[in-house]
Chain A
Amino acid sequence: MNKKNLKHILSIMVDNEPGVLARVVGLFSGRGYNIESLSVSEVDSHKFLSRITVVTSGTKIIVDQIKAQLAKLIPVHNLVDITELKSFIGKELILIKLDVKNKKTFDLKKKLERLSAKILEENDLEIIVQFTGSPNEVKKMESILQPYKIIEQTRSGLVSMATGTDYIKK
Chain B
Amino acid sequence: MTVPKRIGKIRFGLISPQEFRKMSVVKVITADTYDDDGFPIEMGLMDPRLGVIDPGLRCRTCGGRPGECPGHFGHIDLVAPVIHVGFAKLIRKVLRAVCRECSKLMLSDLEKKEFLRQIRTLEELGQPTEDVVNKVFAEARKHKVCPYCGAPQGEIKFERPLSYIEDGHKLTPSDIRDRFERISDEDIMVMGMNPETARPEWTILTVLPVPPVTMRPSITLESGQRSEDDLTHKLVDIIRINQRFQENREAGAPQLIIEDLWELLQYHVTTFLDNTVSGVPPARHRSGRPLKTLSQRLKGKEGRFRGSLSGKRVNFSARTVISPDPNLSINEVGVPLEVAKELTVPIMVNPRNIEVVRKYVMRGPDNHPGVNYVTRSDGRRVKITERNCQEVAQQLEFGWKVDRQLADGDIVLFNRQPSLHRMSIMAHRVKVMPYKTFRLNPAVCPPYNADFDGDEMNLHVPQTEEARAEAEILMRVQENILSPRFGGPIIGGIHDYVTGSFLLTHKERRLDREKLMEVIKKLDITDIPEPAGYDENGDPYWTGKQIFSLILPKDLNLTFKADFCSNCPVCKGEDCENDAYVVIRDGVLLRGTIDAEAVGAFKGKVTDRIIKEYDPGVASQFLDRMTLLALRGIMLAGFSFGISDEDVPKEAAEQIHDVTRSAKESVQKLIEAYRAGELEPLPGRTLEETLEMRIMQTLGKARDSAGQIAGRYLGLDNSGVVMAVSGARGSMLNLTQMAACVGQQSVRGERIKRGYTDRTLPHFKRGDLGAEAHGFVESSYKKGLSPTEFFFHAIGGREGLVDTAIRTSQSGYLQRRLVNALQDLEVNYDGTVRETRGMIVQFKYGEDGVDPSRRDYASPDNVHRIIRKVLAGENA
User: Are A and B interaction partners?
Assistant: no
Interface residues of B, Cβ cutoff 8 Å to A: none
Interface residues of A, Cβ cutoff 8 Å to B: none
